[in-house]
Chain A
């Protein structure tokens, strides 16, 4: 199956700093990628839809100036958590939609990034 690589797998940062998380589709092109956050023992919450070559679409309640998304190529989307604070500590997951596949599996997920803000 298709592979989505997410990096880093975990990161610890000081409050007030910015953190960038990368999501790459390794063997397919993805015009659309998605970013989620997941708190312990909770489900995934969609934060935003990342569209190649255009602005991301954010879900209600997600601050676009705090969670900057860039999707500059067909294989890479980045999420930057700006001025991170302890309440931003969470598990962040990306997914990529693969087009033109004949199988039922069309959405592929990264392995997630655990962000801890001190």
Chain B
């Protein structure tokens, strides 16, 4: 299972766009990239998933370059409530749940 590397922490201000990059050099052909958000004392919550190029939903965008060795989660116009830990996971559908959670990125949004 592919190992991921993310920045440990990031700071931002309300209304800014935040981009969090994850490295996954050993990603396999069948692997998808999934991002989760976790608030203190809660379980992770699904944000977005992608395989290649760009995926966008109502809360975020996910950019994946052609070599798929990294991915960038983009949060538009963050608010204080976006302060959380963000994890990127890499794995195929048959291994969903067994993917290793890396250290995650603690995003702190300031007023």
A-to-B contact residues, CB < 8 Å: 1, 4, 6, 32-34, 36, 43-46, 49, 91, 93-95, 97, 104-112, 114
Residues on B with C-beta less than 8 A from A114 are 41
How far apart sit A36 and B97, CA to CA, in the bound complex (Å)?
10
Query: B93: nearest residue on chain A (CB-CB)?
Result: A106
- Chain B residues 76 to 111 lying within 8 A of chain A, measured CB to CB, are 87, 93, 96-98, 100-104
- Is B97's CB under 8 angstroms from A43's CB? no
Please state if A107 and B46 are interface contacts (CB–CB under 8 Å): yes
Residues A107 and B97 in contact in the complex (CB < 8 Å), given A43-B102, A43-B103, A43-B104: yes
Residues of B within 8 A of A (CB): 32, 34, 36, 41-46, 48-50, 87, 93, 96-98, 100-104
Q: Contact between A46 and B46 (Cβ–Cβ < 8 Å)?
A: no
How many A-B pairs with Cβ below 8 Å? 58
A93, B48: Cα distance in complex, Å: 20
The main secondary structure of chain B at its interface with chain A is loop
- Taking a contact as CB atoms under 8 Å apart, the answer to whether A105 and B43 are in contact is no
Q: What residue in chain B is nearest A46 (Cβ atoms)?
A: B98
Contact yes or no, B101 A44, CB < 8 A:
yes
Say whether B42 contacts A107, CB under 8 Å: no
Nearest 3 interchain pairs by C-beta:
A109-B43, A104-B49, A34-B97
